[in-house]
Structure 1
Amino acid sequence: MDAMPSPTEVSELSYEQARDELVQVVGELEQGSATLEQSLALWERGEALAARCEEWLIGAKARLEAARAGSSRATSDDSGDR
């Protein structure tokens, strides 16, 4: 099993890095060749990676909603009283 960065470093990962590592973790767990202790560590790492991905997605959704709100405000300001 490859050495993985410590869970404290998850907060430093981009969405793509976290997603790719999560795919790797799931693959290793599905193989079933890890010891119980390794499997638990992988599971914990996977949970942290999934949470990091969710943080990125929530942030992206908030940015989209803000952009949409700004766009609809600009549109309504343009069609306002003249």
Structure 2
Amino acid sequence: MSTKTDQPINFEQSMQELEGIIRELESGDLSLEASLAKFERAVELTRLSQATLASAEQKVQQLLQQNGEEKLVAATPDNDNLPF
């Protein structure tokens, strides 16, 4: 029972749908079959979102390199050396 459509969705829509699926799965009200279908959709949305983020990161890297800036620094809670 997939909610998959033929039209692509953007990152924000993907995240909203994923959050909804998580709420549904956490409720425990779904049958096993429905839970598996929701989980399958969640995996698909996660992969799409990861690809979108990787593409965005690549674009940022290219822009930084064009401007002569350093490489991206991984964002971590203890990283105080961020350039912004």
Fold-level match, TM-score > 0.5? yes
Provide the C-alpha distance between the structure 2 equivalents of 1:49 and 1:24, rounded to a whole number of angstroms: 12
- Please, which runs of 5 or more residues in structure 1 have no aligned partner? 74-82
Matched positions, count: 69
Q: Deviations over 1:51-75 (max 9, x none)?
A: 11101100110000000010008xx
| Structure 2 length-normalised TM | 0.75
Tell me, yes or no, if structure 1 residue 32 matches structure 2 residue 28.
yes
Report which of the two structures shows the higher radius of gyration computed on alpha carbons: 1
SS in structure 1 of the partner of residue 3 of structure 2 = coil
- CA distance, structure 2, for counterparts of residue 54 and residue 17 of structure 1: 14
Return the letter of the residue paired with 1:44. E
Q: Give CA deviations for 1:22-54 in whole Å, capped at 9, x if unaligned.
A: 000000000010000000000000000111110
CA distance in 2, matches of 1:26, 1:5: 14
Regions of 4+ moved over 6 Å: none
Q: TM-score, normalised by structure 1?
A: 0.76
More helix by share: 1
2:11 pairs with one of 15, 18, 38: 15
**Gapped regions of structure 2 (runs ≥ 5):** 70-84
Question: Do the aligned partners of 2:25 and 2:35 also contact (CA within 8 Å) in 1?
Answer: yes
Q: More deviation in 39-48 or 11-20? A: 11-20
1:2-81 matches, cutoff 5 A:
5-6=3-4, 9=6, 12-72=8-68
CA RMSD of aligned residues (A): 2.0
